[in-house]
Amino acid sequence: MTRAGAAIVGVTVLAALLGPTLVGIDPAFQDLPLRLEGPSTAHWFGLDELGRDILARLLAGARISLLVGAIVVGISATVGTLLGSIAGYYGGIVDDVVSRVSDILMAFPGLLLAIAVVAVLGPSLTNVVLALTLIGWVGYARLARGQVLRVRELEYVQAVRALGAATPRILAWHVIPATLPALIVQATLGMGGAILAEASLSFLGLGVQPPTPSWGTMLNYGRSHLLDAPHVTIFPGLAIAVLVLGFNFLGDGLRDAMDPTMGSKGTRGTL
């Protein structure tokens, strides 16, 4: 499954890099007389409500999805890891402040805070990234804090401290690297989560605005043609599900590799 996940992610990244040039059709080109036409040899995934090629728009939308995922996960993981590591290593008031702020942010379930932030700031790609980062860093901070609390007591860290190394150096070179495997798993799964979250916000009309192609926005507009042109809804939904599945398979495989007792290959625990 890890290989399947890596293959899905790899193919999507490649398709996003090549973009609409892969099909040679401008994703913004409107062929109004053929609007809502079903899949054909000329347009493999059919045309949307404005007669635009759905495959070309999916390829252009893949860039948005992957870009949002990468930026949100990148910023969240960096900020969260730094804050969590500092909180876990130093403890005291720094830990209290980081922990209380994350407690409050975690009191808002899932996407709710992102919906609230985008609702007041206005719908746009930048605000989606801002809103998702605002809630995204907490998970990484909690994970990093927990890992640092464990790692800082290990003998090699105490040895480095006894040798007189400065705290920032201990954190940067000896503590944070030891927490990286768990953070990489979290970030891989986080990519799927961020892509799904961006699509959800765009579906609600709070994310990427037309005419920029986004998978969530395509689904939102396709919803009104569910009966006469289901292909407008089916393909963007399938694209989201397959890419998120790819990241989930990959993240899960990485986690199993780091904790073999939970995977399917172990023998302990079976009857």
Which residue number, 47 or 199, has a Cβ lying nearer to another protein? 199
- Distance CA(139)–CA(203), nearest Å, equals 24
Which residue number, 157 or 250, has a Cβ lying nearer to another protein? 250
Cβ density class 221-256: b for 16+ within 10 Å, e for less = bbeebeeebebbbbbbbebbeebbbbbbbbbbbbbb
Contacts of 231 (CB under 8 A, 6+ apart): 38, 39, 45, 46, 54
Q: Length of the chain, please?
A: 271
Interface size with another protein, residues (CB under 8 A): 55
Binding mask 82-101 for another protein (x = CB under 8 A): ------------------x-
Query: Can you tell me which of 17, 103, 173, 177 binds another protein, judged by CB under 8 A?
Result: 103
Site membership for another protein, residue 108 (CB under 8 A): yes
Of 84-92, 138-146, 174-182, 244-252, the segment contacting another protein by CB under 8 A is: 244-252
C-alpha distances in Å from residue 171, one per residue of 97, 162, 181, 246: 19, 14, 16, 33
User: Nearest Cα to 129, choosing from 9, 7, 214, 225?
Assistant: 214
Binding mask 178-207 for another protein (x = CB under 8 A): --------------x---x--xx--xxxx-
**Residue 49 CB neighbours (<10 A):** 17
Which residue number, 161 or 225, has a Cβ lying nearer to another protein? 225
Site membership for another protein, residue 74 (CB under 8 A): no
Cβ–Cβ < 8 Å for 29, 53: yes
Rg of the chain taking only CA atoms, in angstroms: 22
Site membership for another protein, residue 150 (CB under 8 A): no
Minimum CB separation of residue 168 from another protein in Å reads: 30
Site membership for another protein, residue 226 (CB under 8 A): yes
Task: Describe the crossing of helices 112-121 and 125-151 by its angle, rounded to 10 degrees.
Answer: 140
Site membership for another protein, residue 25 (CB under 8 A): no
Minimum CB separation of residue 223 from another protein in Å reads: 6
Which residue number, 33 or 109, has a Cβ lying nearer to another protein? 109
Task: Give the interface with another protein as residue ranges (CB under 8 A).
Answer: 1, 100, 103-104, 107-113, 115-117, 119-122, 192, 196, 199-200, 203-206, 216, 219, 223, 226-227, 230, 233-234, 236-238, 240-242, 244-245, 248-249, 252, 261-262, 264-271
